[in-house]
Amino acid sequence: DTEVTQTPKHLVMGMTNKKSLKCEQHMGHRAMYWYKQKAKKPPELMFVYSYEKLSINESVPSRFSPECPNSSLLNLHLHALQPEDSALYLCASSQDQGGNTEAFFGQGTRLTVV
């Protein structure tokens, strides 16, 4: 099983809403990632969790709040987003953060902020 599952697949939210994106993997991976991808652009790293601890925050605005409740789950809590935050949000996982580990991606959540 090399699957990373993201829910929901699509999300439309208003600028005053609070919503959460969810990501799950059962590969025993200890590193999990959030990426943001705008149309026709490569993914941009947002956060890295390693062994359930936040290890990298790429200067992401505080309206995005990650959470790693356990080694299989990764959430991204959204609050007071802007229309320019509309994008495909990708979750990934790897065995750990080290060099010898491939990252597997989920199918993404397509977020539209109205």
| Residues contributing to the site for another protein (CB under 8 A) | 4, 6, 33, 40-43, 45, 48, 55-56, 90, 92, 97-100, 102-108, 110
Judged by beta carbon, residue 52 or residue 105, the one nearer another protein is 105
Q: How many angstroms separate the CA atoms of 3 and 25, rounded?
A: 6
Nearest approach in angstroms of CB 105 to another protein is 4
Classify 57 as helix, strand or coil: strand
Nearest approach in angstroms of CB 43 to another protein is 6
Nearest approach in angstroms of CB 91 to another protein is 9
Judged by beta carbon, residue 72 or residue 105, the one nearer another protein is 105
Is 88 exposed, middle or buried, given 0-12, 13-18 or 19+ CB atoms closer than 10 A?
middle
Judged by beta carbon, residue 33 or residue 85, the one nearer another protein is 33
Judged by beta carbon, residue 18 or residue 96, the one nearer another protein is 96
State the virtual CA torsion across 69, 114, 5, 32 in degrees, nearest 10.
-50
Any bridge partners for residue 4, and if so which? 25
Q: How many angstroms separate the CA atoms of 108 and 78, rounded?
A: 15
